[in-house]
Structure 1
């Protein structure tokens, strides 16, 4: 389940980022950040479920929090 969700979110992030780069359109930046945050959340959950002593799960969770905070700030600035 997490693998499928991770792939779907990765495709969404790549598609929105590619569209933004090609058209130089910054209107979709907050949606890309929301998708990226969700992707990092799924990656963090997957890493923490592996039950290893690594830092990658916690780092992914911190990146999730930062990207969602940034995205909310962008939403509120409009």
Structure 2
């Protein structure tokens, strides 16, 4: 289940980033960071379940950082 969620979130991130680069329209940057954070959370949960707790916690930390940056971008934009 988590694998499919990871695939969907990754496709959203890559497609949005490609659109931003090709169109040179950077107004969706905060959404990309939000979905990238969710992807990192799913990856962290998967690694934690595989008993790779160090990498899992690092990925959850990256998720928290991206969420703070994304929310800050939403509020200041």
Matches within 5 A, 1:1-78: 1-52=1-52, 54-78=53-77
Q: CA separation in 2, counterparts of 1:29 and 1:21?
A: 11
Alpha-carbon RMSD: 0.9
Provide structure 1 residue ranges, at least 5 long, that are not aligned to the other structure: none
Query: Normalising by structure 1, what TM-score?
Result: 0.94
Which ranges in structure 2 are unaligned for 5 or more consecutive residues?
none
Runs ≥4 residues deviating over 4 A = none
Aligned residues: 77
